[in-house]
Amino acid sequence: MHIDRGDTAHHDDTSRLEAFSDGVFAIAITLLVLEIGVPHVAGDESLTHALLHLWPSYFGYAVSFITIGVMWINHHEMFKDIERTDHTLSALNLVLLLGIAFLPFPTAVVAQYMTNDAHRLEATLTYSLTFTMIALAFIALWLYAIRHPDLLDEHVSQARLRSRTRRYAPGTFLYGVTIPLAFISPFISLGLIAAYALFYLLPLADE
């Protein structure tokens, strides 16, 4: 049943692919909270102390949440110019979603081990690597699309396509660079990944 390939030779419109992707983005973003376990308060510790001790979980939750949110916005933007899908585009989109839906795991790894001197570097690399892979899947999707003009909205100008490419391409570099930087200091890598998310939220550039 499922190794059905030939039928997608004609080009479908992207509405259901987008709806399915929206679902995966929305669920992955909401599952992040499950990573934060209710703390067991030991002896005469205060609950506040135990809750504050979970700060790496809040950090991971917030950074991954905003990053997935921004990725969703970008995915949504990109599909304004992509009007049809073929087999390869669907497959590339599935690989992108595989990465997005995986994010709760490295988020939990980084939350649990970023305060552990012995494991911080490896936890950070897990996080950086996942984001870099997602960025690669994202740009691969876009590059495939613009090389197949029959998939694009015919009214889109070349200038607009180039502008998108210029804006999407740096993502791989921005996340990729956090991999070697982690060997200098994991905090720099985590700080950069958080800064990317925060930068998006800042309204300054708009005003």
According to CB under 8 A, which residues from 89 to 148 bind a copy of itself?
A: 90-91, 94-95, 97-98, 101-105, 108-109, 112-113, 118-119, 122-123, 126, 135, 138-139
- Any contact of residue 190 with a copy of itself (CB under 8 A)? no
- Any contact of residue 172 with a copy of itself (CB under 8 A)? yes
From candidates 11, 59, 84, 88, binder to a copy of itself by CB under 8 A: 88
Unique residue bearing structure tokens 């996942």: 130
- Any contact of residue 87 with a copy of itself (CB under 8 A)? yes
From candidates 13, 16, 53, 185, binder to a copy of itself by CB under 8 A: 16
CB of 36 to a copy of itself, least distance (A): 5
- Any contact of residue 149 with a copy of itself (CB under 8 A)? no
- Any contact of residue 154 with a copy of itself (CB under 8 A)? no
The total number of residues shown for the chain amounts to 207
What beta strand segments (E) does 76-164 contain? Answer: 84-85
**Integer Cα distance of 4 and 191 in angstroms:** 44
- Any contact of residue 71 with a copy of itself (CB under 8 A)? yes
Backbone angles phi, psi at 124, to 5 degrees: -65, -40
CB of 84 to a copy of itself, least distance (A): 14
- Any contact of residue 164 with a copy of itself (CB under 8 A)? yes
Residues 6 or more apart from 74 whose CB is under 8 A from it?
138, 168
**Integer Cα distance of 92 and 78 in angstroms:** 14
| 13 DSSP β-pair partners | 84
Would you call 78 helix, strand, or coil by DSSP? helix
CB of 165 to a copy of itself, least distance (A): 11
CB of 199 to a copy of itself, least distance (A): 6
- Any contact of residue 189 with a copy of itself (CB under 8 A)? no
- Any contact of residue 205 with a copy of itself (CB under 8 A)? yes
Tokens, residue 133? 């892979």
Per DSSP bridges, beta strands 12-13 and 84-85 are antiparallel
Residue 12: which H helix or E strand, with range? strand 12-13
Contact pattern for a copy of itself over residues 19 through 58, marking x by CB under 8 A: xx-xxxxxxxxxxxxx-x-x--x--x-xxx--x-------
Crossing angle of the two packed helices 15-31 and 55-81, in degrees rounded to 10: 170
